[in-house]
Amino acid sequence: MFLALRELAFAKGRFSLMGAVIALIAVLTVILSGLSSGLVNDGVSGLKSMPVSAFAFDEGTKTDNAFSRSVVEQEQVASWSEQPGIEQATAMGSSMMNATTDDGTQVDVAVFGVDPSSFLSPAVSDGRQLGAVDGLVVSETMREAGVEIGTVLTMDRIDTELTVIGFTEGQATFGHVDIAYAPLSTWQLIAAGQAPAGAPTQQDINGLDFNYSSVVALQYADGAEVDLAAGDAAANTTSKSLSESFNSSPGYEAETLTLSMIQVFLYAICGLVVGAFFSVWTIQRKQEIAVLRAIGAPVRYLLRDGVTQAALLLMIFTALGIGAGLGLGAAMPAGMPFALEGGPIAIAAALTITLGLVGAVISIIRIARIDPLTALGGNR
């Protein structure tokens, strides 16, 4: 550290420039991490909050938008209920709808039809549990659109009126749209095209002959290992684990892949830029390193010193960049899908430092190849 610290102080300008680049990369990693988390939350927070182990879609359903594309029958639900290791299997309906609130505000909702007595019935942070035929439990984030308990949402085109009776615990969105949980029978009424204008009644439900839903939600027994392939074969379905099913959320795969690619490039750039800097730095120090080696400085000492210097530079300026990134993140507009989460930011910081260090180490290794003989004059 003796030499590393003194060189950092001596070449303040050069190291500050390099540090500024590292800090900017760290700012970008925080912003991208926030965007990534925000988009994931906007895309699948509703699915993530469900106590579901896997979803079974109708056999052969295309992955993209599979939740609204798939149609399953009650027999398929029953088949899954009988599979070994399945604690519960229940039908769930899913459809994207446009609606208008009492005050004329236009909102988009992902209507999830769930059996109010099943494990899919959402926990509420405010209001009543799902149950009433015309009642909706909506995402907490709908409050931003002025939705309150008692707000009536009128579904566009069919004019069916459903009343908000509760809010979920935290954000529950799907495909960047707020989720509105409705009783499965009410969802089936709408899906069958038999929902009346105005509020649906129990009588409307009783007269419905429609046994379809979108997917089968599966909950495994504790510690059970479920043979999904066998279940699929028996029920004519294509099942996906909860995390795999995220890709069936509209746009989820395209968004996450795009952001992941940008992040990968950013980390690669970090490694390359830091590597290039230390490569030039090592070349500039060639003569002094030759002198130190001629004096007898062990290569290991010089390598350790160089790596310590790079690690210090990376840690200090990554920390500064992350601080600045957090500040910028806090100032992001409310409408932007942005979420600052400790885990992803810590991973982004660790990757910035690690890959920067890899680049630096590859360059610093050059020290071992510097011939101490070059410290002597050019008269050999």
Partner 1 sequence: MSQQTQQSPAIHNPSNTDSGLALTDVSLELGDGAQKVRVLDHVNLHVPDGEFAAIVGPSGSGKSSLLAVAGALSLPDTGSVKLRGHELTTLSSKQRARHRLQDVGFVFQSGNLIPSLTAADQLRMVNLLAKGPRNFDPMPLLEAVGMSHRAKHRPGQLSGGERQRVGIARALVTKPAVMLLDEPTAALDSARSHEVVGLLAQRARDMGIATVMVTHDHGMLDQCDVIYEMNDGTLTRK
Which sign does the torsion angle of CA 225, 226, 228, 233 carry?
A: positive
Asked if 99 and 155 touch (Cβ cutoff 8 Å), the reply is yes
Asked if 120 and 168 touch (Cβ cutoff 8 Å), the reply is no
SS3 content of the chain, % helix, strand, coil (to 5): 50, 20, 30
Q: Does 229 bind partner 1 (CB under 8 A)?
A: no
Q: Could you say which of 104, 209, 295, 335 contacts partner 1 (CB under 8 A)?
A: 295
Q: Could you say which of 71, 96, 297, 358 contacts partner 1 (CB under 8 A)?
A: 297
Residues 6+ apart with CB under 8 A from 261: none
d(CA 190, CA 6): 73
Q: Could you give the angle at the alpha carbon of 117 between the alpha carbons of 204 and 98, nearest 5°?
A: 55
Q: Does 380 bind partner 1 (CB under 8 A)?
A: yes
Q: Does 331 bind partner 1 (CB under 8 A)?
A: no
Q: Which is nearer to partner 1, 198 or 298 (CB)?
A: 298
Helix ranges, the chain (H): 2-10, 12-48, 66-69, 74-81, 184-191, 202-206, 228-235, 242-245, 252-284, 286-295, 299-330, 342-364
Q: Does 193 bind partner 1 (CB under 8 A)?
A: no
Q: Which is nearer to partner 1, 191 or 310 (CB)?
A: 310
The amino acid that residue 340 corresponds to is L
Q: Which is nearer to partner 1, 6 or 128 (CB)?
A: 6
Asked if 43 and 243 touch (Cβ cutoff 8 Å), the reply is no
Q: Which is nearer to partner 1, 195 or 313 (CB)?
A: 313
Least Cα distance to 215 among 198, 183, 232, 239 occurs for: 239
Q: Does 291 bind partner 1 (CB under 8 A)?
A: yes
Q: Which is nearer to partner 1, 8 or 353 (CB)?
A: 8
Q: Does 309 bind partner 1 (CB under 8 A)?
A: no
Q: Which stretch binds partner 1 (CB under 8 A): 78-86, 147-155, 220-228, 370-378?
A: 370-378
Asked if 54 and 243 touch (Cβ cutoff 8 Å), the reply is no
Q: Does 379 bind partner 1 (CB under 8 A)?
A: yes
CB of 275 to partner 1, least distance (A): 21
Q: Could you say which of 3, 26, 32, 165 contacts partner 1 (CB under 8 A)?
A: 3
Which region, left, alpha or beta, applies to residue 159 given φ > 0 means left and ψ of -120 to 50 means alpha?
A: left
Site string for partner 1, 10-29 (x = CB under 8 A): xx------------------
Q: Which is nearer to partner 1, 47 or 313 (CB)?
A: 313
d(CA 51, CA 167): 17
Q: Which is nearer to partner 1, 1 or 257 (CB)?
A: 1
d(CA 364, CA 307): 7
Least Cα distance to 87 among 134, 113, 64, 119 occurs for: 119
Q: Does 6 bind partner 1 (CB under 8 A)?
A: yes
Q: Which stretch binds partner 1 (CB under 8 A): 85-93, 241-249, 274-282, 372-380?
A: 372-380
Which sign does the torsion angle of CA 24, 27, 28, 29 carry?
A: positive
Q: Does 373 bind partner 1 (CB under 8 A)?
A: yes
Q: Does 334 bind partner 1 (CB under 8 A)?
A: no
Q: Does 376 bind partner 1 (CB under 8 A)?
A: yes
Asked if 278 and 363 touch (Cβ cutoff 8 Å), the reply is yes
CB of 11 to partner 1, least distance (A): 7
Q: Could you say which of 293, 325, 345, 348 contacts partner 1 (CB under 8 A)?
A: 293
Q: Could you say which of 105, 106, 243, 287 contacts partner 1 (CB under 8 A)?
A: 287
Q: Which two tokens stand for residue 29?
A: 């990693």
Question: Total residues at the site for partner 1 (CB under 8 A)?
Answer: 26
Q: Could you say which of 104, 193, 296, 342 contacts partner 1 (CB under 8 A)?
A: 296
Q: Could you say which of 20, 84, 288, 330 contacts partner 1 (CB under 8 A)?
A: 288
Binding site for partner 1 (CB under 8 A): 2-3, 6-7, 9-11, 287-288, 291-299, 301, 372-373, 375-377, 379-380
